[in-house]
Structures are given as structure tokens and as C-alpha cells.
Structure 1
Amino acid sequence: MDLALSEDQRLIAAAAADFLAEACDSAAMRRAAASEDGFDRALWQCITEQGWCGVQAPPEEDGLGLGWVGLALLQEQLGRRLACVPFFDSVVLSAALLRGLADAGRPQLAEVERGTEVVACALEAGAARALPDGSGWRLEGTWAQVGSAAWADTLLLAATDPAGATVLLAVSSGSPALRIEPLRSIDTTRRSARVQAQGIVLPAGACLGRGDTLDEALRRARDLAAIGLAAEQLGTAQQCLELSTAYTVQRLQFGQPVARFQAVKHRCAQMLVAIESARSAVYGAAAVADLEPDAATLAFHAAQARCEATEAAQFCAQEAIQLHGGVGYTWEYDPQLYFKRAQADSQRLQPLSWWRERVAAQLLERAP
């Protein structure tokens, strides 16, 4: 498989990097993160106007038609800037789930791809229950942590029906029986909320999927979203390296920049090795996703990208703090923000142990 980026892909990545460097620099990111709801609406409007939300949609549907590789390139740049927008939760995770629901998810997907609606989703049903109510449904339950829920227009909530089957229901965020409680997190650049449904009565059309078909769509959406999240983590790691090299060139010790010291060079080189290993895994997984592989192949490559990128982001964030010396953990410098994002992202979509155990079980099933 040729993982070299095409000319169009290189141009979209460069354009995204240039745009975000100006529209979402450190000062802008910090202002948005410190705001009451943490949503950079001005940046989100620019993103939607540029058509980023439709990066995967085909040109005949007014999309960019760049597939998962194109989406990964945008996610990488958003991760570099810790952009305070719901791109991952709406355009990556929710859109992947809606595509897997075929006709049932198409109307909602069109809104997401146009950027006219923000959708958040909870993949795990937990103890939530969906009970038949006449021709519709009655939804009750709590979802402990739903990314971008407070910013969403619609929430896709998984629950269990009386027969034990999983049901996915689309709920308006403005429903009076829906309670959305923002959560405090170490990562102020990405918000999540606790969602509680208190006997919400929904029409039959609110059910987007049910049973085995939905379970498969949920599994595939998680795998695809893991590739998107890994791309974001790759961007986080890359920015940690760039912050570190810029600082060590400026920081003087014994009359010369500390970047000249061999020990510092070695640490930066180790960061680069981790980043490039993760980049290969992420770009490879995105290229595989564009081929619409079978479930086992997708799960393997998603796990590889997720593990490589998570470890790279955590390692580079830790090293960035060390290479900044005594100021590395202070509020005035950015490494601490990237460290918090790396730590928070490591637990999204299940921890690394879950992904490794899943691949191990898959490989053992194939063993003679």
C-alpha cells in the first residue's frame, strides 16, 4: 500500500495548518478554553464555511470527497492547536455512526456534513432503558460522559429495550425531559457532559437502529472514530515536539542554547521517532478505512493506530514538560495543556488495554 500523500492531500493539510495557526493560535485557544462553555463559535463557523464538515462527502453531495485520509489530515491539525470545537464528536464519531445506519441516518448525516447541526453520541447503553410507548419509545437513563453534549443540537443515545437488544434514539438537546450537566475535566479545551433522560417520550421515527445491525454499526463507528482520534493525538505529539525545539533553541545555558547539548538532542530525536511511528500507523489505518475493509481488518488497524498515537502523545507531552525545565508545568506555557489533552484522550473510546485485549482475542481465534 502506498501511503504517500497525493498533491491534493498535501495541499489540504498545508492549508489547514496555515488557517489554524492564525485562527487558533495559543492565545485564541486559551480564550475559548477559559470561556463559560468552552466553545470557539467563531472558529467553528469558519470551519463549516470552508466545508471541513463535508470532507468525506462525495463531490456530488457538495462534499470534498477526501475520505478518511483527508479527515485524518484535518484532525491532525486540529489536534496540534487543541481547537475548542466539536469536530471530533460530530464530524468524526457521530458521522461514522450515522453512515453505518444507512437510510435511517442519512437525513441527520446531511445536516452534520453541511455543518448546520452538531451531533453528539453515546455509544454505550449502560443501564439506560428504551421502553415501548404506544407507537414510539420512552427513554430513561444516564450517560456518565458524552463528548460535546452541551454544544450539540441532537444527541444519539444508546439504550437497551425489554428484549435486551440495543436501541439508538435521536433526542433533541432542547427536550425538557433531557438534563445536560457539564462536567469539569483536567482538559478544559474539550468539554463533555453528563446526560440524563427522565422519561422522554419519543416518536417511532426517533429510533435510528436496533439489534444486531445496530451493534455492528456501533462497533464499526468506534473503530473508525479511533482512527480519527489517533490522528488528533498525532497532531498533539507533533506540536509538543515543535514547542520543545523552539524553546530549547532560545533557552541559554553556559552561554549557548540548550538545544546544542547531546542529551537534549537525544530526547527530541526520541520524540520524533515516536511521532513518525504513530504517523505511519495513523495514515495506514486511514488508508485502509477508505477501502471499506471487513470488521476484523478494520479493528486491527484501528487498534494499531490508537495504541501508537496514544503512546506518542503521552510520551511527547511528558518530554515537552521536561525539556521546558522549571516552566514546563506552569500555566503561562502550553506544554501542560497538551499533557492534559494527552491524558484525557488516552481514556476516550476505551483505554489501550481494551484495544490490545480485543486484538489478542481476534488473533487467538485465528490460531490453529
Structure 2
Amino acid sequence: MTTYKTAQPNAAALDPELGLLADALRKTMETTTGAALDAALVELGWPEMLAEMPEVAIPLVFGLLGETGAHAPVVNDVVLAEAGSGIGSTVPLPYTGNRWIEWSRHDRDTEALDAELPVAVVESGSSIPVSAGRRALGWWLVGTSRAMLDLARTHALDRTQFGKPIAGFQAVRHRLAETFVAIEGAEATLHAATDDLGSLLAKAAAGRAAILTARHCQQVLGGIGFTAEHDLHRHIRRALVLDGMLGSSRELTREAGAIIRAGGSAPRLVNL
């Protein structure tokens, strides 16, 4: 059985200081969430990291949000920073279906599919740059996908049928392998995203990977995956909500097709 290990962003793995920061962030996210985590991230230097090294800070923070299942309204900061505005407040965000939402910086009741997230529909919003926000949400979706895959893999190794772990059954192995490939592919597109189109495609790939991951992991987990006692449903709800922010994977795929068709050719996104 192949071992699927949770991946850390490359910079954190190579730089000892960033590795220590990643450990501190993970420990904080494992015990804190919501508005309290928002405040804790400020104490850990999130504003300075976003200003000085966004190419490291965004994958690190948002990937760990996905892996730990914690949440904080820091996508507001990424969008505001790209727009050249001060961070620490909120901004209406485009949502799938021509809607707008606001992600509050305070814990409050919500009618969102993911009841843990303090998001609410608002009447409208202003045009904002979304490329950095799409990359951030893409990293969050990749982290969430890795969390779901880890749950399914653990179950497959522990659950026995006919006298052996179900991880030995070809159908289970194929689902886990397909999931792993989709997640790695999404992460590769995020690493390669440097412009608007690349960010659009990376967010679409991450959303598609998360939806495929949810479907396959639900099948591997079987009945236990449908229960409120198991954590899978939390990650699935999170993935569905995040996929809709700043354009769903389906909408972004259509948008990318329209851009390429209008240009008459597909631009080179990566030099291989």
C-alpha cells in the first residue's frame, strides 16, 4: 500500500526557521479557530508575512487551515492586500451564482452549508482583484483534500473485510490513488500560477480535486463517513463552500475556455 503523507510547502520544508513557524501555526490551528485564530495569527506575524513574503505565507497558512480543519477570515486580508488596501477588515467577495458574500471577522451564527464559517450573503460588492485570493483558496482546498485523503487512508488501513485490510482491495487502492494524483496535480498548478489566467486555472483545479476527493473518500469510508461523529462531513462542507468563493471550479473552467477561445490560442502557462 502506497503511503500518502501530508505535504508541507517546499519553502517550509527546506528552511529551518519556516519549518518552526509551520509547526507553531499547526499547533495553534489545532487548538484555535475562528475569531480567536484570526487574533492568534496576527500575534504570529501574519500581516508581516503577507506583506513581505506572500509567496510563502499564503501556501503555508492556507494549506494548514485545510489540513487542520480550522478557519479564519484571512482571505479578506489577501484580497485587500492585492487591492492595495489595509488589511484587518472585510470586503464583499464574489460567490458562485452571481452572488456576493461577506466573511465576518467575528464569530456569529450563519446559514451557510458549513455552519462553522461566519459568512453571509450581501446585496452586492465592488470589483476587486481576485487572483491572489483564488490562489489562497486553492491552497486551502488542497489542504482540505489532503485531510480527507488522510481520513480515508487511515480507515482503509484499519478496516478489515474477509480477513484483511480493505486497503488491499484494488477498487479502494484505485480510488485513493486517483485522489492522490488529483491533489498533486492541483498543487502543481498552484505552484505554477503567476498571472490571472494561471490563478483562475489553479483555483479550478483545486476545486475539482476537492470534489473528486470528497466523492472517493466517502466511498472508501462507507457508512461511517455519513455520520456526524466522523470528521469527513466537516471537510466536505468546507470544500463545497470554498469552491464557490471567487468562482466555482465549473464556472472558472468555462471562463478559462471563453478566454482561450477569444484569444484564438492557449497561452503558455509553464515552461517545462
TM class by shorter chain equals 0.7 to 0.9
**Unpaired runs of at least 5, structure 1:** 33-38, 58-64, 100-104, 113-117, 125-142, 153-180, 198-213, 289-297
* Map 1:151-166 → 2, pairs under 5 A: 151=106
State the Cα distance separating 1:228 from its structure 2 match: 0.8
1:350 counterpart = 2:247? yes
Report the secondary structure of 2:136's partner residue.
helix
Residue-pair matches, total: 253
Higher relative contact order (CA 8 A, sep 6+): 2
Q: TM-score, normalised by structure 1?
A: 0.61
In the other structure, the counterpart of 1:122 is: 92
In the other structure, the counterpart of 1:138 is: none
Residues of 2 paired with 1:283 and 1:248: CA distance? 30
Query: Aligned match of 1:18 in 15, 19, 23?
Result: 23
Between Structure 1 and Structure 2, the one with more helix by share is 2
Whichever residue aligns with residue 19 of structure 1, its letter is A
Residues of 1 paired with 2:20 and 2:116: CA distance? 23
State the Cα distance separating 1:24 from its structure 2 match: 3.3
Whichever residue aligns with residue 66 of structure 1, its letter is M
In the other structure, the counterpart of 2:270 is: none
State the Cα distance separating 1:22 from its structure 2 match: 3.4
In the other structure, the counterpart of 1:94 is: 80
Runs of at least 4 residues off by over 3 Å: 4-25, 194-197
Identity of aligned residues (%): 24
Whichever residue aligns with residue 120 of structure 2, its letter is A
1:278 counterpart = 2:186? yes
Residues of 1 paired with 2:143 and 2:18: CA distance? 12
Between Structure 1 and Structure 2, the one with more strand by share is 1
Q: Give the root-mean-square deviation of aligned CA atoms.
A: 2.9
Cα gap change, 1:7 to 1:69, in 2 (>3 Å): closer
In the other structure, the counterpart of 2:70 is: 83
State the Cα distance separating 1:15 from its structure 2 match: 4.0
In the other structure, the counterpart of 1:52 is: 46
Whichever residue aligns with residue 339 of structure 1, its letter is I
Q: TM-score, normalised by structure 2?
A: 0.81
In the other structure, the counterpart of 2:103 is: 148
Cα gap change, 1:264 to 1:272, in 2 (>3 Å): same
Compare CA radii of gyration and give the structure with the larger one.
1
State the Cα distance separating 1:307 from its structure 2 match: 1.1
State the Cα distance separating 1:92 from its structure 2 match: 1.7
Report the secondary structure of 1:146's partner residue.
strand
Report the secondary structure of 1:354's partner residue.
helix
State whether residues 66 and 143 of structure 2, in contact with CA within 8 Å, keep that contact through their aligned partners in structure 1.
Answer: yes
**Unpaired runs of at least 5, structure 2:** 1-8, 266-272
In the other structure, the counterpart of 1:335 is: 232
* Map 1:220-231 → 2, pairs under 5 A: 221-231=129-139
Residues of 2 paired with 1:95 and 1:360: CA distance? 28
In the other structure, the counterpart of 2:6 is: none
